[in-house]
């Protein structure tokens, strides 16, 4: 099924990035946040982000204007009724996502594909909240969505081949590289990445090395573009704890057991870049 209009639910880091990616690649986007002011703020953020790309010569002005013209910001979930595919990117909380899927199922026509951008949670449980489990899958973008080339297409046991083909073609239409993966916590990337990130915090907590030396070591020693503590700040420490908890719930592997320091930092609202402070200070 060709996708012409995409609904994006959630106005956080990922919702904004996915909406921008989809709009730049020629599809209409209906952006939904619970508050209209937040939805409008996302459009303003997108305008700034695209202006930077124009300045850098990566996008021409006509394409920027066309992309902005394809975006509508709404607060009423009912406005998503005209979308061919809806992707949710709200907080990593299974209860919140399940409730949202039951609402989307009520609002959207039977042929609409419903997708989640979850990092770890069981997609099948969201699918079973709907009357169309065969039309539900994961479409997992990476952060920042306009830049990162990978998309994991997550296949719950309930999904049809057609749904997976639709999700894969959306990723391709966004010039991403899709990989198809089973609906198992963490899929490919986070199942491998999060023990590493968690153990980096353990090294810091145990005083084995300083923050800067841990990040410098992994950049210089492994050729990674950023160190693990800077990456946790980019992902968001709250989201990271939710991801680790979901991985631990599924596998009971101690490498996935959230290191106490990480949980304490979330309790102190040190969420990383989005709150201005995490392992690093972004107020400066």
Ligand X SMILES: NC(=O)c1ccc[n+]([C@@H]2O[C@H](COP(=O)([O-])OP(=O)(O)OC[C@H]3O[C@@H](n4cnc5c(N)ncnc54)[C@H](O)[C@@H]3O)[C@@H](O)[C@H]2O)c1
Judged by CB under 6 A, which of 21, 89, 130, 163 binds ligand X? 89
Q: Are 153 and 179 in contact (CB under 8 A)?
A: yes
Q: What are phi and psi of 88, to 5 degrees?
A: -100, 140
Cβ closer to ligand X: 64 or 256? Answer: 256
- Find tokens 């703020």 and name the residue: 41
Q: In the Cβ-directed half-sphere of 136, how many Cα atoms lie within 13 Å?
A: 27
- Least distance from C-beta 55 to ligand X, angstroms? 25
Give the whole-angstrom CA distance, residue 272 versus residue 229. Answer: 10
258 binds ligand X (CB under 6 A): no
Secondary structure of residue 119 in the 3-state scheme: coil
- Least distance from C-beta 98 to ligand X, angstroms? 11
Cis peptide before 263 (omega within 30 of 0): no
13 binds ligand X (CB under 6 A): yes
Give the whole-angstrom CA distance, residue 147 versus residue 92. Answer: 22
Q: Note if 140 is an active site residue.
A: yes
For residue 208, the Cα-to-chain-centroid distance in whole angstroms is 32
**Per-residue contact flags (x/-) with ligand X for residues 93 to 122, judged by CB under 6 A:** ---x--------------------xxx---
Judged by CB under 6 A, which of 236, 256, 262, 278 binds ligand X? 236
44 binds ligand X (CB under 6 A): no
What sign does the dihedral 173-178-181-186 (CA atoms) show?
negative
Q: Note if 190 is an active site residue.
A: yes
**Per-residue contact flags (x/-) with ligand X for residues 150 to 189, judged by CB under 6 A:** ----------------------------------------
Catalytic residue among 11, 33, 117, 119: 119
Choose one: 79-87, 91-99, 197-205, 212-220; the region binding ligand X (CB under 6 A).
91-99
Partner residues linked to 277 by β-bridges = 272, 281
Partner residues linked to 9 by β-bridges = 32, 88
Choose one: 9-17, 46-54, 129-137, 222-230; the region binding ligand X (CB under 6 A).
9-17
Strands (E) in the chain, as ranges, are 5-9, 28-32, 71-74, 85-88, 113-116, 136-141, 150-155, 177-182
Give the whole-angstrom CA distance, residue 220 versus residue 143. Answer: 22
Strands (E) in 108-165, as ranges, are 113-116, 136-141, 150-155
Q: Note if 103 is an active site residue.
A: no
198 binds ligand X (CB under 6 A): no
143 binds ligand X (CB under 6 A): yes
Judged by CB under 6 A, which of 28, 92, 183, 215 binds ligand X? 92
Length of the chain as a residue count: 284
- Least distance from C-beta 52 to ligand X, angstroms? 20
Q: Note if 152 is an active site residue.
A: yes
- Least distance from C-beta 192 to ligand X, angstroms? 14
Cβ closer to ligand X: 64 or 98? Answer: 98
Instruction: Return residues touching ligand X (CB under 6 A).
Output: 10-15, 34, 89-92, 96, 117-119, 140-143, 235-236, 239, 274
- The residues annotated with a catalytic role in the active site are 119, 140, 152, 190
């Amino acid at each position: 099924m060709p996708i012409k209009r995409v609904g994006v639910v959630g106005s956080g880091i990922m919702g904004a990035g996915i909406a921008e990616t989809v709009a730049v690649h020629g599809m209409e986007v209906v952006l939904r946040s619970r508050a209209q002011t937040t939805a409008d703020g996302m459009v303003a953020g997108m305008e700034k982000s695209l202006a930077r790309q124009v300045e850098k010569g990566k996008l021409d002005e006509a394409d920027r204007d066309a992309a902005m013209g394809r975006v509508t910001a709404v607060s009423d979930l009912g406005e998503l009724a005209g979308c061919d595919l809806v992707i949710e990117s709200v907080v990593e909380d299974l209860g919140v996502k399940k409730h949202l899927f039951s609402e989307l199922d009520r609002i959207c026509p039977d042929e609409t594909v419903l997708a989640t951008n979850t990092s770890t949670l069981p997609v099948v449980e969201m699918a079973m909240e709907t009357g169309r489990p065969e039309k539900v899958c994961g479409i997992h973008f990476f952060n920042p969505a306009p830049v990162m080339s990978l998309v994991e297409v997550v296949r719950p046991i309930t999904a049809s081949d057609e749904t997976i083909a639709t999700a894969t073609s959306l990723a391709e239409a966004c010039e991403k590289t899709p990989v198809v993966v089973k609906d198992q916590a963490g899929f490919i990337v986070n199942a491998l990445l999060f023990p590493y990130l968690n153990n980096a915090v353990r090294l810091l907590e145990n005083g084995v090395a300083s923050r800067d030396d841990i990040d410098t070591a992994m950049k210089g020693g492994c050729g990674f573009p950023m160190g693990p503590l800077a990456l946790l700040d980019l992902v968001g420490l709250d989201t990271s704890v939710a991801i680790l908890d979901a991985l631990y719930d599924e596998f009971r592997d101690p490498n996935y057991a959230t290191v106490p320091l990480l949980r304490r930092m979330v309790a102190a609202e040190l969420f990383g870049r989005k709150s201005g402070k995490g392992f690093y200070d972004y107020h400066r």
